[in-house]
Amino acid sequence: MSEATHLTCEFSDNGLVQELVGPHNANLTRLEQRLNVVLHSRGNTVTIEGPPARAARAEAALKQLYKRLTEGLPVDMGDVDGVARLAQDSSGAANEDLSIRTRKRHITARSPVQAAYLKALQDFELVFALGPAGTGKTYMAVAKAVALKLSGAVDRIILSRPAVEAGERLGFLPGDMREKIDPYLRPLYDALYDMLPGDYVAKLLLSGEIEVAPLAFMRGRTLTSAFIILDEAQNTTPVQMKMALTRMGENSRMVVTGDLSQVDLPRGTKSGLEDALETLDNLQGVGQVRFSHRDVVRHDLVARIVDAYDKRDAQRRKAPPQE
């Protein structure tokens, strides 16, 4: 490499260094690919070779991963990817400790936009989170809700989605109302069980301290001391969205998540999410975070798939209409 510099990171715990580098140096190899540097480990040291700016980013990433290990937290490939993304961020959004602790998970930002999202969840009473699947919009909102419930900052968690998916209607699904509703709300249950022991989730659901319900069940209510998450909000109508937003009561917070590229409403019906973003733009107390395919934290292929569809859709919008 031209203009290469050499840095040496020395760590005190040899056992943690073995976890840091990963089996067969897998974590170091991943950092090399992400940050375009060369890494070598020997004993309790890791040497870095590369241009000064890249070497400094790699040093910061290694120290962040080691700090995670000293706190008793695991390091997997997703964590390696996350610190690599954050190391390349120059905005400073990732420097503040905004991690969320629940009984089963310690959630930290894995991209600069996720760091901005965690900051918005901390600072604003109402947050809109927009972007493709796999960016952590819903998962991190559920984590924040669980953390606030465990700390006593809110008394209950309300998780809701509009029951509109790819043209299906509840009436055509088998079973009673609960069985009809559950498939639409499954991702919210999954996130809950990721954060809390299963028996504790069941207890809170039974007591009503956690409520998972379709959006239609929110009408006419005022939700006080609650953390409210409205998921898949691109499938609300403007009337439904206004109804949902005005459910907030005293000491309540709300997160509205959605992907405006995945609207399943009837053709010609404006999305309530799009309408709300236009209406509430720059309103005090409202935060807005926009994710892109670059923030997808699932398998690398998922990010490439999202990017391919986005490019295809952009080309279609540019193409002249056919006569």
Compare 4 and 234 and report the one with higher pLDDT: 234
CA 52 – CA 6 distance, rounded (Å) = 8
- Mean pLDDT over residues 58-81, rounded? 86
User: Tokens 């000491």 label which residue?
Assistant: 251
The pLDDT assigned to 1 comes to 44
Identify the structural domains of the chain with CATH numbers, from first to last: 5-87 (3.30.1370.10), 109-318 (3.40.50.300)
pLDDT value, residue 86: 80
Q: How far apart are CA 9 and CA 59, in angstroms?
A: 7
Q: What is the pLDDT of residue 321?
A: 60
- In angstroms, the Cα distances linking 18 to 32, 137, 207 are 17, 33, 45
For helices 272-279 and 238-245, the axis angle rounded to 10 degrees is 60
* Residue 27 in this model has a pLDDT that exceeds 80: yes
What distance in Å separates the CA atoms of residue 208 and residue 149, rounded to the nearest whole number?
Answer: 13
| Token pair recorded at residue 101 | 């602790």
How confident is the prediction for the chain on average, in pLDDT?
85
Q: Which pLDDT band, with edges at 50, 70 and 90, does 247 fall under?
A: very high
Closest to 229 in 3D by CA, of 258, 267, 262: 258
pLDDT value at residue 237: 93
For the segment 114-140, what is each residue's pLDDT rounded down to a tens digit? 889 999 999 999 999 999 888 889 999
Q: What is the mean pLDDT of residues 308-317?
A: 81
Going along the chain, which residue ranges are E strands? 5-10, 38-42, 45-50, 100-101, 106-107, 126-130, 156-161, 210-214, 226-230, 253-258, 286-290
Taking only the tens place, the pLDDT of each residue in 251-271 is 999 999 999 988 988 888 999
The DSSP code for 46 is E
pLDDT at 176 over 60: no
Higher pLDDT, 292 or 272: 272
Which residues in 83-219 belong to E strands, given as ranges? Answer: 100-101, 106-107, 126-130, 156-161, 210-214
What is the chain's length?
323
Of 89, 153, 96, 152, nearest to 119 by C-alpha is 96
Q: Between 148 and 298, name the one with better pLDDT.
A: 148
Confidence of residue 226 (pLDDT cuts 50, 70, 90): very high
Percent residues over pLDDT 90 in the chain: 39
Residue 2's pLDDT is what?
53
| pLDDT band at residue 306 using 50, 70 and 90 as cut-offs | confident
**Residue 165 exposed, middle or buried by CB count within 10 Å (0-12, 13-18, 19+):** middle
